[in-house]
Chain A
Amino acid sequence: MNKSPVRILYLDDEEQNLIAFHALFRRDYEVFTTTSATEAVQILNQCEIHIIFSDQKMPDLSGVEFFEMIVTDFPEPIRILLTGYADIEAVIDAINKGQVYRYLTKPWIENELRITIEDAYEVLQTRRQVNDKQQALEKAYSELEKFVYSASHDLRAPLVSIKGILKLSKLENDPAKHTEYFNMIEQSVQKLDSFVQNIIHYYQNGKKEEILTAINFSQLADDVFATLAHYDGAERINLRKEIEPQTPFMADELRLRIVLNNLVSNALKFQNPKDEDSFVLLSIHNTVEKAVIKVADNGIGISPDDLPHVFDMFYRTSQKNIGTGIGLYIVKEAVEKLGGKITVTSDLDNGTCFLLEIPNKS
């Protein structure tokens, strides 16, 4: 039989009990024994214990007192009290103060102990699963709340702008002004459209299974540049790619596309309109282990105050009002799903550089 990963701590003032317990279970579990409560706490601090047995009747402090003492700092291990005589007070205390899982009488029956250990470990596992699920739920819930709040604003804001423009155009007698209003409506529509697209990307990234395909980086870069060519002012920006394909590369193409599309479109959006030589550089080098991707621009940059928050959900930097605050959040999530890393450096007014490392899954 393989040794199970269960770690048991047994505290008892009678050395023979400890020796007997150790002899019984050392082959099946990892067993720690001690006669001192102080040492028991030390053991709890040093390694992750799953189940704690304690004798009730000890000279310095009772088993219930011991459990009561450690329950705040070590709430997770399952606590089991052992006692030589049936003492109803001790049982009540054990349940109320020491929050024990079970109460066993001495002398113990081996089989009963074994079943108790197995049951206790199962309870621990179930509690952990419930805890993990609850944490995941809490995260999802708080994200959803943020999402609904921001979505209700970001989806509605462009529509509200359009409503305002329409209201104004009704009051306007000068037909020449109407072209101006149409342009304003167009801007709002574009903003709304890109927000909707981002939401779709966000859900695709969250839900879809990873599909590995061979990546042709050069083709991918061309595609990304082509889809962004319609961007306002894209024609005056010098799009450069530096790609050195060296070894076959496997990754999830959809997520890689989402990442590159977002980073390159950001680089286009946050250009310095006065700059004559605006550029966006996409450079990709790959090895057997990973691809190193750089997306750099000489745009308006990100201020040091904003830089630590750019990957936060719905965080918008203060320089320009065109962001929706979700693009880089999606990038970060997608990079995590790709198993990679992303970092950003920026110099306000001079440009931004995103550096990615994506593992090769071939």
Chain B
Amino acid sequence: MIVREHLNILLVDDNDIDIAVNTKLLKLADLTDHIFSFSSCRLFLKYITDNADGLRTKTNLILLDIMMPGMYGFECLNEFAKMPDDLTSSFHIFMLSSSIDRNDIKRAEQSKQVLKVLEKPLDVYHLKRLIEEISIQ
């Protein structure tokens, strides 16, 4: 069982409206108080590098947008995968997409790190069930 206090949710999305909406939806669903958002992959990667020690002991959920300028979601994943295993193993990654492009979904599903592709707007109750599944495993 994931203890509420031990759950971090990290949102990575260049669209500030979607960040604002998803943050509020997550708060309303009352999953955790620890919601962090990043407008670019660089900022996200910097954050987890800088806070690696604190993050290691928690369960970290990443909601990563597939389409972002500069560094696309998949490139971000590649960079993330280069980090030490004991850090990445504390992360569970969901990818978010507003397009329903089959190639994107296929590519994400084939990636070992990605648990699931979620369609935008975020269905937080669906996410809640997915988190419960993670905690059972």
Q: Please report A residues at the B interface, Cβ cutoff 8 Å.
A: 149, 152-153, 156-157, 160-161, 163-165, 167-168, 171, 184, 187-188, 306, 315-318, 321, 323, 325
- The contact of A149 among B16, B20, B21, B101, by CB within 8 Å, is B101
| Cβ–Cβ contact B25 & A321, under 8 A | no
Which chain B residues numbered 1 to 52 have a C-beta less than 8 Å away from chain A? Answer: 14-18, 20-22, 24-25, 28, 39-40, 42
- The contact of A318 among B16, B21, B71, B100, by CB within 8 Å, is B71
**Residues on the B chain within 8 Å of A318, using CB:** 14, 40, 42, 69-71
**Residues on the A chain within 8 Å of B24, using CB:** 168
A167, A188, A306, A321: most-surrounded residue (chain B CB, <10 A)? A321
**Residues on the A chain within 8 Å of B14, using CB:** 318, 321
Give min CB distance, B79 to chain A, whole Å.
14
Chain A CB within 8 A of B122 CB: yes
* C-alpha spacing A161/B17, complex, angstroms: 7
* C-alpha spacing A187/B15, complex, angstroms: 11
**Residues on the A chain within 8 Å of B18, using CB:** 160-161, 164
* B interface: dominant SS: loop
| Cβ–Cβ contact B101 & A184, under 8 A | no
* C-alpha spacing A306/B71, complex, angstroms: 11
Given contacts A156-B98, A157-B15, A316-B70, 13 further A-B contacts (CB under 8 A): A156-B100, A157-B67, A160-B120, A164-B18, A164-B22, A164-B25, A164-B121, A164-B122, A168-B21, A315-B69, A318-B42, A318-B69, A318-B70
**Residues on the A chain within 8 Å of B121, using CB:** 160-161, 163-164, 167
| Cβ–Cβ contact A325 & B69, under 8 A | yes
Chain A CB within 8 A of B99 CB: yes
Which chain B residues numbered 99 to 137 have a C-beta less than 8 Å away from chain A? Answer: 99-101, 120-122
Give min CB distance, B31 to chain A, whole Å.
15
A153, A171, A315: most-surrounded residue (chain B CB, <10 A)? A153
| Cβ–Cβ contact B21 & A306, under 8 A | no
Q: Please report B residues at the A interface, Cβ cutoff 8 Å.
A: 14-18, 20-22, 24-25, 28, 39-40, 42, 67, 69-71, 98-101, 120-122
**Residues on the B chain within 8 Å of A321, using CB:** 14-16, 39, 69
- The contact of A152 among B21, B28, B71, B100, by CB within 8 Å, is B100
Give min CB distance, B23 to chain A, whole Å.
10
Nearest chain A residue, comparing its CB with the CB of B39: A321
**Residues on the A chain within 8 Å of B28, using CB:** 168, 171
Nearest chain B residue, comparing its CB with the CB of A166: B121
- The contact of A184 among B17, B39, B70, B98, by CB within 8 Å, is B17
Q: Which 8 A-B pairs have the closest CB atoms?
A: A318-B70, A164-B121, A316-B69, A153-B99, A164-B21, A160-B98, A321-B14, A157-B98
Nearest chain A residue, comparing its CB with the CB of B20: A184
| Cβ–Cβ contact A168 & B25, under 8 A | yes
Nearest chain A residue, comparing its CB with the CB of B96: A160
Q: Name 19 interchain pairs, CB-CB below 8 A, sorted by A.
A: A149-B101, A153-B98, A160-B98, A160-B120, A161-B18, A164-B18, A164-B22, A164-B122, A168-B24, A168-B25, A171-B25, A188-B17, A306-B70, A317-B69, A318-B40, A318-B69, A318-B71, A321-B39, A321-B69
Give min CB distance, B88 to chain A, whole Å.
24
* C-alpha spacing A318/B22, complex, angstroms: 21
Give min CB distance, A192 to chain B, whole Å.
12
* C-alpha spacing A325/B69, complex, angstroms: 9
* C-alpha spacing A156/B100, complex, angstroms: 9
Give min CB distance, A255 to chain B, whole Å.
27
